[in-house]
């Protein structure tokens, strides 16, 4: 039997599985995550939703290695894992042009991927533009290109479109949906927007008081329209309130 087709384009990557067992985190006295157990398959697209203070960002930071935790946190199968984060703020270096921002941290032989990633996010021709010369949406596109140019095994998206207006947000949803389909990275999206979670990912986790309250599989073909996910959104909203 022949092997499954593998995407070999410059921006594709192999996703990694994630295994959390009894994971806990606290800031001083305040418990943020409590005995969290969760398995995410390689290449899976997962959204984390829930009220503020529920532990979403702490979990993402733990996966990025930015927060210390107790318990078991296993990413991948032993080989080095490329984890990249797209933050709520673009976090672009103001003194670098768009292309140099995307190429940040890329080894010299892989720099070609920066131009390709910028083109993929629709910013061909703006390679030399400084962040202050770009709109908010364009800056988030550069940040997305930077994350994808690294061919991450694990892509962490921390409310990446939270600061954008509704129209730009809809554009970014379409763009991200396509790019995530092209890349094989395991993806974790944190969002307050239930529709965003249901349109872009295949599994939605509702996090409350440091624990997973709901694990919802979204078995619908991409791209999804608003009407496709209406019922699921209503279900999640009922759980949230």
Give contact residues for another protein (rule: CB under 8 A). Answer: 64, 66, 82-85, 87, 89, 91, 93-96, 104-105, 119-124, 129-138, 146, 150, 167-168, 170-175, 177-179, 182
Pairing of strands 186-190, 154-158: parallel
8 A C-beta contact, residue 58 and residue 25: yes
Task: Specify the residue, 101 or 191, whose C-beta has the smaller distance to another protein.
Answer: 101
Pairing of strands 30-40, 18-27: antiparallel
Q: Considering the complex, what minimum distance in angstroms separates the CB of residue 224 from another protein?
A: 14
Q: Considering the complex, what minimum distance in angstroms separates the CB of residue 82 from another protein?
A: 8
Task: Specify the residue, 164 or 208, whose C-beta has the smaller distance to another protein.
Answer: 164
What whole-number distance in Å separates Cα of residue 223 and Cα of residue 238? 25
Q: Considering the complex, what minimum distance in angstroms separates the CB of residue 67 from another protein?
A: 11
Task: Specify the residue, 25 or 121, whose C-beta has the smaller distance to another protein.
Answer: 121
Q: Please name which of 232, 61, 196, 162 lies closest in space to residue 240, comparing C-alpha atoms.
A: 232
Task: Specify the residue, 108 or 241, whose C-beta has the smaller distance to another protein.
Answer: 108
Residue showing tokens 């998206």: 157
Q: Considering the complex, what minimum distance in angstroms separates the CB of residue 98 from another protein?
A: 11
DSSP 80: -
């Amino acid at each position: 039997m022949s092997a499954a087709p593998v995407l070999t384009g410059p921006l594709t990557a192999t996703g990694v599985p994630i295994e959390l067992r009894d994971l806990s985190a606290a800031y001083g006295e305040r418990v943020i995550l409590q005995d969290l157990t969760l398995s995410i398959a390689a290449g899976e697209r997962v959204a984390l939703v829930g009220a503020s203070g529920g532990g979403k960002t702490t979990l993402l930071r733990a996966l990025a290695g930015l927060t210390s935790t107790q318990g078991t946190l296993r990413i991948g199968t032993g080989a080095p894992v490329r984890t990249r984060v797209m933050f709520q703020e673009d976090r672009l270096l103001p003194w670098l042009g768009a292309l140099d921002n995307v190429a940040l941290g890329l080894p010299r032989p892989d720099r070609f991927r920066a131009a390709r990633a910028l083109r993929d996010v629709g910013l061909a021709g703006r390679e030399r533009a400084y962040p202050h010369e770009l709109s908010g949406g364009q800056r988030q596109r550069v940040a997305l290109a930077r994350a994808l140019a690294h061919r991450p095994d694990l892509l962490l998206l921390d409310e990446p479109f939270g600061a954008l207006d509704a129209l730009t947000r809809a554009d970014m949803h379409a763009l991200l949906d396509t790019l995530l389909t092209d890349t094989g990275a395991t993806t974790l999206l944190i969002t307050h927007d239930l529709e965003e979670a249901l349109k872009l990912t295949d599994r939605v986790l509702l996090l409350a008081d440091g624990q997973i309250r709901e694990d919802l599989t979204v078995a619908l073909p991409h791209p999804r329209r608003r009407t496709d996910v209406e019922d699921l959104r209503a279900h999640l909203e009922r759980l949230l309130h």
